[in-house]
Structure 1
Amino acid sequence: MRVPAVLCCLVLVVAGCGGLSTPAEPTLADDTTPTAEPVGPTVGTVTDVPPPRPAVEVSVTAVVDGDTIRVEYANGTRDTVRLVGVDTPEVHAENDPPEFEGVPDTTAGATCLREAGIDASNLAKDRLLGRTVGLAFDPNLDRRGYYDRLLAYVVVEDRLFNYGLVRSGHARVYDSDFTRKTAFDRAESEAREAGRGLWQCADGATAVADGGTVTAGASGLAITAIDYDAPGNDNENLNAESVTLTNRGDEALSLAGWTVSDDADHRYTFGDLTLTPGASVTLHTGSGTDTDSDVYWGREGAVWNNGGDTVTVRDAGGTVVVERSY
């Protein structure tokens, strides 16, 4: 049995051999046998695809954005990884709405995509940053792409993170000849039809809640940010725990009598507040002086569970307007 080159290097380093140069990238075998039929836990009618066999394990040291991370190998070598097959909206540059099917080529479309890009970046930070993950490579692609970034699948907890981004609507499928493209295309199609994540930016989209996505209701109201894990002790930093709502509609929206609640049915009721088109309001868990852009729940303890929760907004009549889970 042939021993992979990187493993040899690691063995030699552990043995204390001197004079070895650290390889710039892993040389373990590609995963060349993707399973044709996806299996695994379902979300809607789309299932997980089996993850490829990782070639190497790395530590994630930084998240550049939703589809790009920085990693460190066990021997201390560092690298930048561009996730295979996916493209999340930009957060450090301008977005081009026509790249995302159905998203209008307008300022509102670009703004919506930027918010979706931030959401994707936050998801990557939550799931990957500081963790050990597996990297796998696609036999149809070069190892490196633009800017000499390593092109890889990221496997975390036996799940293919790249695919999860597409399935949840955090990314579109990047047009390249990677082996899992059919499954990715199918997942994107369903996410787009359901209005998940970035696809709620599309013309006429109304969305329902689906794990960790930005959502928008028919009223135009969207839950655009959930800061559920305040720095330090959540109960001692209540105003850093917050939920942000944005009016993405074309008309002013009165929130008087509307409520925000969690899974445990803790409820906040808005006073006489109106959001003009494009305006946002942030609901802080702690206490403070309400303004047009910031309101305060006045609670003495944290509301939003760090391990996952659902934000539900209801109108004055109790009808659910929009939900978002994380």
Structure 2
Amino acid sequence: MSMSSNEDSGKLGVILVLIMAIVMTIVVFNGITPQDEKTESQDIYIPPYSASEYIDYIYDGDTFKTVEGDVIRLLGVNTEEKGMEHADAAKQKLEMLLNNGEIRLERDEVDKDRYGRLLRHVWSGDVFVNVELVRGGYAHVYIIEPNVKYSAELWTAQDEAVANQQVLWEPSPYDVELMEIQPVQGTDIEGLNLEKIVFRNNDQETLDISGWNVKDESVHIFRFNDMSVPAGGTVELKSGLGTDTTTEVYWQLDSSIWNNAGDVCFLRDENGLLVDSWRYTLEGDIYVFTDYVP
């Protein structure tokens, strides 16, 4: 009985050795070891995080933080800052877009901004978040070279938003138009009161513009306090220092607002509706203006 048991154990041992030999032969034949297979898998595997697992906090319509602690600034777009009329809507839209599926991040030429935020194109499932924010009118195009990879897609999306009068592009009922944008020529710290925008009241009645605001392509914003414009009257908003009059208002700045190379001016009423908007670019030594009135 003891001998039979030993024989059975020996046969079992031989079988196990043969099985292990076959397995190792298959692994070697395929050119990888078990450790190699694990390493290769780690290189190509993308964890199927849902947005709720991957996203830790949404700051506003164009910035969020991941659970790893990275702050992500969406490339090519700009939404209104906290406290502005459309800021909450943009934040809610970003949150909704990030819940479409697995989050994927793509860098462009520059990895981080001056605040240490990662500059990224963002996909949620099959949705290109940056483009959809613009297409829905929650963000406007804000491209800073050399991060220009998806410029064409972003501008096309903005054209759609403008045509459809979406959110940021919803028109104001007031008959007021921008007449002039004058960036500072030469150095941006000289002649700040030569830098100005001019707009005109085309209505037949005096217009109260208290609570209206002017904003550039970035984050600079000026709000008008207790001011009226007569029918046919104009207002000049100058960037430098000075004393306000009935026709001239001063931003009281010590540096330039309107970029010499190109910028966007948004004029909005007290409800955040778009009164008028101009984009300008410098082509050679000539400024080319595009009117963005819906």
Higher helix share: 2
Larger Rg over CA atoms:
2
Normalising to structure 2: TM-score of the pair?
A: 0.39
Normalising to structure 1: TM-score of the pair?
A: 0.36
